[in-house]
């Protein structure tokens, strides 16, 4: 199929590995799914320390399960990307460890205290659900199938994050004050989660035309604000003065996009932001630390039947 045929046929789960697809489609889909998979990996790295630092055994167990879920989501997505025939899973993992793989802006910032946890587990995961729910209708069928499982599990993650937020915002005065301060620090990053404005989005038009994306960045951002501003207020959080949020006549919300630091955002997108570089370096060290496991598995398989398996991560 050429691009005209792709655009004419584009729809939910329209294309599968059995289809002959132009390279432009396969590269765009690979870039999109790889970005998503990388973000799942780096999100797990961000929250992993709280398996030990969580304040109760129940929270530790929940974070252990959540981290395991996120790594599992990444593996599903890398496999879905592989079916496009552009890059192997191993190449994508190498790119991430070497600083060439891109991932979501929020996962470039380290979490330093327990009060920051619901900023990821509730607000960022909630933003992810807004986006991921639309991807169940993406045109690349293996991606859509992966999203069925991802969305099911992410729904639990959001509830987990909300439970932590409820506990903090009904706790001591100090806990409420610290949680509000964390919210004010993370709020601009959360709003930028959906990417640049539609005018500055490089890949949206093509991705939308071939059915990979179902909504634009601005549409997703506005839908998130409509849903989560009332939720934040319900839990006792005050919406920060900056960036300015305007309420439309119909009761929906929009952000004053000029109030957001887009220079920092695009520096992050190039993997040049210092905290993010630290996150990438940690990922590289962890990957190198288990290299001997991959080598041992490969050597054992070759010795057994002369074939090398897909290396473990």
Whether the pLDDT of residue 307 is over 80: the answer is no
What pLDDT score does 286 carry?
A: 78
DSSP string, 257-297: GGGS-HHHHHHHHTT-SHHHHHHHHHHHHHHHHTHHHHHHH
The three-point CA angle 256-262-265 to 5° equals: 130
Taking only the tens place, the pLDDT of each residue in 25-65 is 999 999 999 999 999 999 998 888 899 999 999 999 999 99
For residue 138, the model assigns a pLDDT of 96
DSSP track, 15-58: B-TTS---HHHHHHHHHHHHHHHHHHHHHHHHHTTHHHHSSSHH
In the chain the domains, ranked by start, together with CATH numbers, are 3-265 (1.20.1260.10)
pLDDT in tens, 267-282: 988 888 777 777 778 7
Q: Residues 70-96: pLDDT tens digits?
A: 999 999 999 999 999 999 999 999 999
Q: Is the whole model's pTM more than 0.75, yes or no?
A: yes
d(CA 19, CA 1): 8
pLDDT band at residue 240 using 50, 70 and 90 as cut-offs? very high
Q: How far apart are CA 186 and CA 205, in angstroms?
A: 29
> 310 pLDDT band (50/70/90 cuts)?
low
pLDDT digits (tens, 9 = 90+) for 139-173: 999 999 999 999 999 999 999 999 999 999 999 99
Tens of pLDDT along 179-226? 999 999 999 999 999 999 888 888 889 999 999 999 999 999 999 999
pLDDT at residue 245 is higher than 90: yes
Other C-beta atoms within 10 Å of 165: how many? 24
Mean pLDDT across the chain: 91
Give the per-residue pLDDT at 308: 56
> Would you call 79 helix, strand, or coil by DSSP?
helix
Give the confidence band of 311 by pLDDT, cuts at 50, 70, 90: low
Distance CA 13, CA 136 (A): 8
Q: Is 101 exposed, middle or buried (0-12, 13-18, 19+ CB in 10 A)?
A: buried
> What's the pLDDT at 180?
98
């Amino acid at each position: 199929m050429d691009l005209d045929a792709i655009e004419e046929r584009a729809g939910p789960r329209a294309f599968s590995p059995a289809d002959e697809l132009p390279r432009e489609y396969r590269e765009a889909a690979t870039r999109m799914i790889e970005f998503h998979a990388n973000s799942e990996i780096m999100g797990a790295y961000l929250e992993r320390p709280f398996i030990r630092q969580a304040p109760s055994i129940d929270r530790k167990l929940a974070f252990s399960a959540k981290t395991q879920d996120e790594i599992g989501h990444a593996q599903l997505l890398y496999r879905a990307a592989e079916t496009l025939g552009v890059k192997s899973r191993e190449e994508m993992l190498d790119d991430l460890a070497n600083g060439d793989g891109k991932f979501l802006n929020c996962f470039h910032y380290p979490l330093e205290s327990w009060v920051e946890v619901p900023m990821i587990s509730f607000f960022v995961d909630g933003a992810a659900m807004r986006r991921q729910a639309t991807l169940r209708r993406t045109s690349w069928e293996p991606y859509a199938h992966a999203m069925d499982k991802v969305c099911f599990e992410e729904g639990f993650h959001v509830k987990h994050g909300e439970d932590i937020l409820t506990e903090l915002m009904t706790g001591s005065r100090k806990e409420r004050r610290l949680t509000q301060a964390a919210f004010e620090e993370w709020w601009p990053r959360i709003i930028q989660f959906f990417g640049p404005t539609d005018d500055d989005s490089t890949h949206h038009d093509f991705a939308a035309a071939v059915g990979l994306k179902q909504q634009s960045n601005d549409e997703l951002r506005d839908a998130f604000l409509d849903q989560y501003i009332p939720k934040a207020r319900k839990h006792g959080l005050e919406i920060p003065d900056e960036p300015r949020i305007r309420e439309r006549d119909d009761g929906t919300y929009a952000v004053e996009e000029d109030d957001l630091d887009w220079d920092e955002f695009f520096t992050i997108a190039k993997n040049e932001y210092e905290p993010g570089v630290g996150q990438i370096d940690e990922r590289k060290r962890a990957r190198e630390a288990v290299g001997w496991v991959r080598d041992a598995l490969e050597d054992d398989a070759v010795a057994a039947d002369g074939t090398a398996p897909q290396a473990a991560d």
